[in-house]
């Protein structure tokens, strides 16, 4: 079920030794990357490799990449979420081993079997194979844009909302229980919520990474995104449809979590998350998020229809006014 994980500081300086240790040789694979820091990393550490730039994570991009990669024995993706997801889905479609080298921690896709690919500008979650090898260089990740790290924070904390939804669905006999997957997802998020490390320090980044890995492992174990996706993700998907310029996925999910835990009546959890967000600079009001109350209401109304078979608190038609008052 799981792959191997290598992590540490400045470990890309030994990338070829690492890859050879796991049976990956330069002349047999291809490296894909984005147009920013990941391109510089490929120029520095993957000079002898065949490589290809990924501009966006769409089905057309996956199809195009399949034509380039099909004669290779494995695929390495160096970059952010778009690059990792495109590589993961492409490798899965071709049955090739996949190596994930994230340059930031913007979501839990670094070690999950889920790849998010756009169709007609709308993100779709694709179930595929998780990476066979995950390489985390904390020095590089720490230097990535703060907004992307905040997105990873939001995506991980949102697991707390997702587990509340899953437990509610089980209670109402709308879903089946998987206690180990529930506990794995919850533990990663709860441990991070209790983190006392200096925000965005190397120890803080490590705790975030470990939480996102546990989230990915929970999805691997359960075989779907249920351990890490509930009402808060549905609201994010609705915002993707409604907003002219949607925010980063993890930012939307993490913010929606403040709202959805209140719908569950978990005011104590709401206050803990809000305090944590304020400590790290994550938005806690619609004004800080940059989304109008009207648009957010519209997203909440639309959200349940986007995945009717995944029961969440939103499918109970809850009273939303008190929760809205806490985030405006």
The CATH number for 146-327, chosen from 1.10.3720.10, 3.40.50.2300, 1.20.1090.10, 3.40.640.10, is: 1.20.1090.10
Instruction: Give the pLDDT score at 123.
Output: 81
Can you tell me the distance from the alpha carbon of 149 to that of 155, in angstroms, rounded to the nearest whole number?
A: 10
Q: Identify the CA nearest to 319 among candidates 256, 265, 242.
A: 265
Domain ranges of the chain: 4-142, 146-327
Task: For strands 29-33 and 50-53, give the pairing.
Answer: parallel
The model's pLDDT over 225-275, given as tens digits with 9 standing for 90+, comes to 999 999 999 999 999 999 999 999 999 999 999 999 999 999 999 999 999
Q: What is the mean pLDDT of the chain?
A: 95
Residue 319 neighbours by CB under 8 Å, 6+ apart: none
Question: Which pair of tokens denotes residue 314?
Answer: 């939103």
Alpha carbon 145 to its chain centroid, in Å, reads 16
Please tell me the distance from the alpha carbon of residue 328 to that of residue 325, in angstroms, as a whole number: 5
Q: Write the CA distances from 272 to 72, 80, 195, 262, 276, integer angstroms.
A: 48, 29, 12, 12, 6
Residue by residue, DSSP assigns 267-315 as HHHHHHHHHHHHHHT---SHHHHT--HHHHHHHHHHHHHHSTTS--GGG
Output 282 or 25, whichever has higher pLDDT: 282
The b/e string for 5-18 (b: 16+ C-beta within 10 A; e otherwise) is: bbeebebbeebbeb
Confidence grade of residue 2 (pLDDT, cut at 50, 70, 90): low
Angle at 130 between CA 126 and CA 136, to 5 degrees: 120
The closest of 110, 153, 156 to 135, measured between CA atoms, is 110
Q: For 79-83, what is the mean pLDDT?
A: 93
* Strand extents, DSSP E, the chain: 4-8, 29-33, 50-53, 74-79, 98-102, 114-119, 122-127, 133-137
- Is 60 exposed, middle or buried, given 0-12, 13-18 or 19+ CB atoms closer than 10 A? exposed
Question: pTM (2 decimals)?
Answer: 0.93
Query: By the 8 A CB rule, do 49 and 42 touch?
Result: yes
Which is higher by pLDDT, 71 or 289?
A: 289
Which fold would CATH assign to domain 4-142? Answer: Rossmann fold (3.40.50)
Q: What is the pLDDT of residues 271-321, one digit of tens each?
A: 999 999 999 999 999 999 999 999 999 999 999 999 999 999 999 989 999
């Amino acid at each position: 079920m799981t792959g191997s994980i290598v992590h540490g500081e400045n470990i890309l300086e030994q990338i070829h030794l690492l890859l050879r240790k796991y049976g990956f040789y330069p002349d047999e694979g291809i490296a894909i990357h984005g147009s920013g820091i990941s391109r510089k990393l490929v120029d520095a550490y993957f000079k002898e490799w065949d490589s290809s730039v990924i501009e966006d994570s769409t089905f057309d991009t996956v199809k195009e990449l399949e034509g380039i990669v099909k004669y290779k024995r494995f695929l390495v993706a160096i970059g952010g979420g778009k690059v990792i997801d495109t590589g993961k889905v492409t490798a899965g479609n071709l049955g090739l081993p996949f190596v994930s080298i994230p340059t930031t921690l913007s979501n839990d896709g670094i070690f999950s079997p889920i790849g998010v690919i756009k169709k007609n500008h709308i993100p779709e979650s694709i179930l595929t194979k998780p990476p066979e090898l995950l390489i985390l260089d904390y020095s590089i990740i720490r230097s990535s844009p703060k907004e992307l790290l905040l997105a990873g924070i939001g995506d991980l904390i949102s697991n707390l909302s997702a587990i509340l939804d899953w437990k509610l669905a089980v209670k109402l006999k709308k879903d089946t229980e998987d206690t180990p997957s529930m506990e794995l997802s919850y533990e990663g998020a709860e441990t991070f919520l209790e983190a006392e490390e200096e925000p965005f320090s190397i120890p803080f980044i490590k705790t975030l990474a470990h939480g996102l890995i546990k989230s990915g492992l929970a999805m691997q174990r359960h075989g779907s995104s249920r351990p890490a996706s509930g009402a808060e993700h549905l609201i994010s998907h609705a915002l993707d449809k409604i907003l002219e310029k949607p925010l980063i996925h993890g930012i939307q999910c993490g913010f929606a979590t403040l709202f959805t835990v209140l719908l569950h009546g978990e005011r104590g959890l709401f206050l803990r998350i809000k305090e944590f967000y304020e400590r790290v600079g994550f938005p806690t009001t619609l004004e800080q998020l940059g989304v109008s109350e009207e648009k957010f209401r519209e997203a909440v109304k639309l959200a349940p229809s986007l995945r009717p078979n995944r029961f969440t608190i939103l499918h109970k038609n809850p009273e939303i006014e008190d929760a809205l008052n806490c985030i405006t």
